[in-house]
Amino acid sequence: MIIANYCTAAALFCLGLYTALTRRDLIRIVMGLSLMESSTYLLIVSLAYRADSTAPVLLSPPDGQTPEQLARGNVSDPVLQNFCLTAIVIGVAITGVFLAVVVRIAQHYRSLDADRVRELRG
Amino acid sequence: MSAAGTAALLPLPIVCPIAGAVLAPLAGRLSRGLPFLVALLAMAGATATLAPIARLVYGGNGQVVSHYLGHWGPVNGQPLGIALVGDPLGVMYASLVAVVGTLLLLAAFSELGGLGARENGGFVCLFLLLLAALIGSALTADLINLFVWFQVAALASYGLTGFFLERPIALEAAFKIIVLTSIAGFLVFVGATLFYRQHGALNMAHLHTALGTGVRTADLLALGLMFLGLATKAGLVPVHAWLPDAHTAAPGAVSALFSGLMVNLGIIGLARLLLQVFPSREHGHGVLPLLTTLGAVSAVLGALMALLQEDLKRVLAWDTISQLGILGVGFATLSDRGVAGATYHLLDHALFKTLLFLCAGAVVHSTGQTELSRLGGLARHRPFVTAAFTLGVLAIAGIPPLNGYASLGLIHEAVEKTDPVTFVALLLAQALTVAALGRAGYLAFYRRRTEPYENLEKPRAGMAVTLILLGGACVAFGVFPNRVLSTVAAPAASSLLHPDEWAVAVLSGRAGVPPLDVTFEYWTFSGLLIVASTVLAGVLIAWWAVRWTTREVPQPRALRALRALHSGSVNDYVAFFTVGLIATLTVLLA
């Protein structure tokens, strides 16, 4: 049923994009981007899944299996799970910078309306 | 030094600037100028470690050396560790970043050195991080590593754009660049992981070998996502909207860094993805025509928008979009002359655009004005900056013996026979570029100005040295085109045009790429005719456009509509992005 995860990830991404497309509130745009970000986490963890696999942990394997069997056998892909961790770290950094900019915009313009923050145009 | 020993130097050009970025804020606690000294030392370290690599790589026809981080080399032909690769293209870009980046640090020191110690430390830290990320992206052969450098460059660029927090437009620009570049980052990331899921390969060479056996729908989806993500960094239409804003708000040296060096991350990433990783020649599914189209549209639209701008730095920023479009067209030709012309033009563009942005920075620094309508008469007050700016404009216009002539000439020759529509678009873009920069140059420097400036700051020595060196490089690259081609540009193009040999070389650790014989004939009738006609057309358009500013003639309605399309609203820019995404995926998957 991993297809359901893919569909959810795609829907989350579209929802985030829709938010960034239609909302003028800067905080909501940040939230839209966070949604898109989480959709990539979901997608990547789901991509790592293989049917009937176990977690890629070789310590204390399930009953009747040795670490060697697990290493050669059916575990979900640890590389993709690592990417997901990397992406979460980068995502936190970006959201932090993003919110810092929004705070400074709020201080300067006394508004969070993206439509009032558009001196640069054309 | 042995070849393996030289290959082991590959991480150092990245490590040096990162170490400098860590030390600079600490050095700022001791003294105000110390962060800049740390930065110059770090970049000197990067340049010094790149030099033996470059000597090895450009020996013969072009060699490829690779180094696996932590010595996690390939096992049974399967690469495991992250590979750093010195190939002619990557080392060209890395050396360009190291050398021009050092010059920009010098210029930044003379322009901004008067800031407080804390500000200097933070500024230098971000600057070095961006340079490190660009060098990293040049030397990596791993898709996820490329994504990491993409994000490091993005984070540093957010910081640099919004560095002068007291200027509201800097905040606005930072907000827009964050929104668009973050979405682009997600796309690159998802694309890279999809490739990995399909083929179990992250190493570009390994992935190229795996893709050779067959391309599935998921691969095309991954290609489309990565394509648009990297195109955003490169500033191609329709995902270009962040670029002019980011350049307007930043100080001169930072704009020069963005335009001369950072946007190349995107276009080099695109070139690697489409030419080295993906078998576009065999299973392209329209991705190369897509790049040609986006490139041609960017070239024309960027130049047209540059013509309409009122702000000196915005003129240059829009022109960057135009030039990057020309690079895209060059890479998409897949012909010897076109790709070699594009790698050559990449160097040229970095040189003259850096020069022009530093001149614009010097103008802003001395007059405090950026609006073209408020400038003028600088030829009398600032003859040196005027000369440097004029040199840059002539180089972009492709007037011999300056550098734009050779590289643009090669790209034009490559497109002329095979693709007449694109050729006409490039000529139109060239005429409009001449017009836009000629108009800006006339209004800012040569126009008579009756009232004196309130306050003219003296130009700084560091700035002058940088301008002289960059201007000298523009002349040298134009006078010896075949030297540049045979040593650097042709090997770099060869590593793009022979992906199979390149992949073997990367995986085996050290081998050469086949020779590529491209020479540029200097005095050809057609080449000179193109220059003469585009310059003539450009001057006529500029004469017409100057009168918009002096309010003698109104701007045509169609052009005003084009400007109004770039509404400054971040929602609209995300909409452009969405249109680009849908169009790319439709072209590739349909």
CA distance B153 to chain A (A): 12
**Cα distances (angstroms) measured from residue B575 to each of B59, B325, B352, B419, B484:** 48, 21, 33, 31, 42
Residues of A in contact with B568 (CB under 8 A): 118-122
pLDDT of A60 reads 73
Closest Cβ–Cβ partner in B158, B305, B567 for A118: B567
CB–CB contact A120 B309 (8 Å):
no
pLDDT of B1 reads 60
Q: How far is CA B585 from the centre of its chain?
A: 25
CB–CB contact A80 B197 (8 Å):
yes
Nearest CA in chain B to A81: B193
Residues of B in contact with A37 (CB under 8 A): 182, 186
**DSSP structure string for B226-276:** HHHHHHHHHT-TTS-THHHHHHHHS-HHHHHIIIIIIHHHHHHHHHIIIII
Residues of A in contact with B158 (CB under 8 A): 94, 97, 101
Q: Which uninterrupted H or E stretch holds B64?
A: strand B63-68
CA distance B533 to chain A (A): 29
Strands (DSSP E) found in B386-431: none
Residues on chain A bordering chain B, Cβ-to-Cβ distance under 8 angstroms: 13, 17, 20-24, 26, 29, 33, 36-37, 40, 43-44, 47, 77, 79-80, 83, 86-87, 90, 93-94, 97-98, 101-102, 104-105, 108-109, 114-115, 117-122
SS3 state at B83: strand
Q: Which uninterrupted H or E stretch holds B84?
A: strand B83-86
CA distance B171 to chain A (A): 6
pLDDT tens digits, one per residue of B269-302: 999 999 999 988 887 778 899 999 999 999 999 9
Question: From the candidates A18, A101, A105, A115, which should be mutated to test the interface with B, based on the most B CB atoms within 10 A?
Answer: A101
Q: For Cα atoms B329, B332, B335, give the angle at the middle one, nearest 5 degrees.
A: 105
Count of helix runs (H) and strand runs (E) in chain A: 4, 0
Give the bridge partners for B64, in sequence order: B511
Give the bridge partners for B511, in sequence order: B64
**CB neighbours (10 Å) of residue B309?**
23
CB–CB contact A118 B172 (8 Å):
yes
Count of helix runs (H) and strand runs (E) in chain B: 27, 3
* Mean pLDDT over the full length of chain A: 86
pTM of the model: 0.94
CA B192 – CA A43 distance, rounded (Å)? 12
Best CA proximity match to B22, nearest among B94, B113, B121: B121
Q: For Cα atoms A10, A15, A20, give the angle at the middle one, nearest 5 degrees.
A: 125
Do B218 and B589 form a contact (C-beta atoms < 8 A)?
Answer: no
Q: How far is CA B121 from the centre of its chain?
A: 26
Q: What is the DSSP letter of A112?
A: -
Nearest CA in chain A to B167: A108
Residues of A in contact with B182 (CB under 8 A): 33, 37, 94, 98
Q: Number of CB pairs < 8 Å for A and B?
A: 121
Do B503 and B85 form a contact (C-beta atoms < 8 A)?
Answer: no
CA A39 – CA A18 distance, rounded (Å)? 13
CB–CB contact A94 B154 (8 Å):
yes
CA B153 – CA B222 distance, rounded (Å)? 22
Dihedral-angle region of residue B556 (phi above 0 means left; psi in -120 to 50 means alpha; beta otherwise): beta
CA distance B229 to chain A (A): 14
CA B190 – CA B198 distance, rounded (Å)? 12
Residues of A in contact with B248 (CB under 8 A): 120
CA distance A44 to chain B (A): 7
CB–CB contact B182 A21 (8 Å):
no
Q: For Cα atoms A110, A112, A118, give the angle at the middle one, nearest 5 degrees.
A: 90
For tokens 């860094």, name the residue.
B257
CB–CB contact B182 A109 (8 Å):
no
Determine the angle formed by the axes of helices B336-367 and B490-497, rounding to 10 degrees: 120
Does residue B199 or residue A53 have the better pLDDT?
B199
Nearest CA in chain A to B188: A40
Averaged pLDDT in 10-residue chunks for chain B of 590 residues: 80 94 91 90 94 88 86 81 90 94 90 80 93 95 92 92 82 91 93 91 90 87 94 92 88 90 93 91 84 94 92 92 94 92 94 93 84 81 89 91 90 89 94 94 85 75 89 91 89 91 84 84 87 92 85 81 87 93 91
Question: From the candidates B178, B305, B560, which should be mutated to test the interface with A, based on the most A CB atoms within 10 A?
Answer: B178
CB–CB contact A26 B568 (8 Å):
no
Nearest CA in chain B to A91: B182
Strand order in the sheet with B510-512: B83-86, B63-68, B510-512
